[in-house]
Structure 1
Amino acid sequence: MRLERRPNVPVHLAIAAPLAAVAVALILAGGLIAAAGVNPLTAYVEMLRGALGSRLSITEMLTRATPLILTGLAAAVAFRARLWNIGGEGQFFIGALVTAWIGHSLGLPGLLGIPVLLVVGMLAGAALLVGPAYLRLRFGVDEVVTTLLLNFIVILFVGLMIEGPLRDPLAFGWPSSVPVDSDFRLPDLIRGTRLHVGLLLAIAAAGIVWLILARTVFGAETRAAGLNATAAAFAGVSLPRTLMGVALLSGALAGLAGSVEVLGVTAGVTTTMSPGFGYAGIVVAMLAALHPAGVIAAAVFVATVFVGADAMSRATGVPSFIADVIVALCLLTMLVALLFTTYRVRR
């Protein structure tokens, strides 16, 4: 028996792969839920009810999905070019920190200040990924290591800043940064909820990324670099320029996620403001098979799991950490599904 690469992946197979991966992950997680003495079907019904059972729960789920869309896009763009950006968490935090810092004293009207702060967050995230990309291109340093370690460095730096120069004196001792000016907060989409126009920005970003990857020379060069870097270089693609461009776009999207979260939800920065948006973005990108349109659906699914897990835990007693297990299993099962969509078994 051997594996043979498929010349073309059928559309139905590409669509079925993530669905099968999610189904298998839920079955495996159901075994753990059953071991805890709870009917898995009951637990999953409570999870859906907690995430989709009311207007408030739906808006909370979509609020959680907003940064996941952006970090998922960041991972998808980088992975398409085989630039393994594992630093979405750090890029998210640096974008959030710079946004809060500048937004606290930016002397501009709200309509002008909001775009400026969003761009500032993108620039901060992009700048953080330049170093690992340069080290890979110049010295062959594995970007998995450098981007992963930068996450911890950035979070420690954020902790230093919010305990020092950017500490909010009105936070009653809670370590939080100074807040952005109220004029720079993103408007709500639905009054009385936390859902904000950042969701529309994230969806628009997915559309723009799709256009870039599917309809531009840069997108074609990105796909070529990811499929076969040697052949791409032989065909005239400048790998250093392409990979650096991919790094800037990927880091900018993750930084934008942090900026949107500050302007739309938290107003300031804390070291606990992210439940792992950067890492979950990797799962979102893989479930979407690195397609920008699929990222939106995958982000909604992951957000449903995270938001619904709390309600499920209260109703059934199953620890809410089962959400992390489900998301991790989705990543593993999706990797197996991608193997069998890319290759077929031959006797």
Structure 2
Amino acid sequence: MHTKLNKTDYLLLGLFYSITSLIQIRDYILSENTLLEYVIDIPVSVIVSLCLVFIFGFWLIPKYAISSKRYLLFTFIGIFFLCFFGGIEFIAGYWSGNNTWDKLPSFNNLIFKFLDYGAESLSFPLGLLLTKKFYEGKTELISVEKEKKENELKLLRSQIDPHFLFNNLNTLDSLIDSDPSKAKEYTNKLSLIYRYLIQTKDAEVMELSDEIEFAENYIFLMKTRFGSDYEFSIEKNISLNDQFIPTSALQILLENIVKHNKSDGINVIKTTILINEGWLIITNTKSTLKSKEESFGTGLDNLRARYKLLSDEKIQVHDMEKKFEVFIPIIRLTK
């Protein structure tokens, strides 16, 4: 429970005491009580209740029940304050009702009366306040977790760009000398891809149709870069509408294939992107030769981490003797 009351807390308490005071006035009218009882009983009951709420809510519970966990001491102090303030309310009501002091209950019964009055004054308003604070805390926690999740996703997304730029600038540098016209076309495609990356830099997920279009442009860059060493095909068995995957997921997976498989000049590395109900499956043939490209650690581990933040489904990886498969869940956004 927060140590300070906000405006809605004051509004809630004000509404509660206004309603309970009106109910008490109605009861006094039906019971034909004297004016003195109105003047004494109602203000005293409100003051006693407020005192107990603040003592328990902002001092006793936080200090002895939550922080230090001294439950026995908390119980004794709590009973004392309930009896003390309950006694004030009982004595005030007893006096305003013109009762004679010689008819006071016995000491034992009086203590139970005090405790009963105190507990009744405390329980409902404190319960209302604690319930409100609990849900406010839950809402705040959800907001903080959401912000943390978004920051983690942005961090993971930012890891992709340096790797992508490093590889393609090397290729472009080679093309400028060997094939200037091809270098110009490559630059145009690269600018289209970077425009997409910039436009989607803050997006957690993108529609599958957009990611497939991006992948087609990206495949052009790779075929320009590696020639006939790699072969790609895309099979769409479902409609791509309202289907989503993490932004640049296909880029990561395609980069992963090139990073870990190098053609021997005879056998082509074949890759199939298969889109089925609920899953996008990328399958590639494996080679015995390994790429010498440096790994920046932004492949499958990156994608696994992002899926932990986006979906309950997990990536499935099947590493077989002659082929490698990655199943990534297709996400449906909840409306």
Under a length normalisation based on structure 2, what TM-score does the superposition of the two structures give?
0.24
Between structures 1 and 2, the one with greater strand share: 2
Q: Which has the larger radius of gyration?
A: 2
Under a length normalisation based on structure 1, what TM-score does the superposition of the two structures give?
0.23
Give the structure, 1 or 2, with the largest relative contact order (CA under 8 Å, sep 6 or more): 1
Between structures 1 and 2, the one with greater helix share: 1
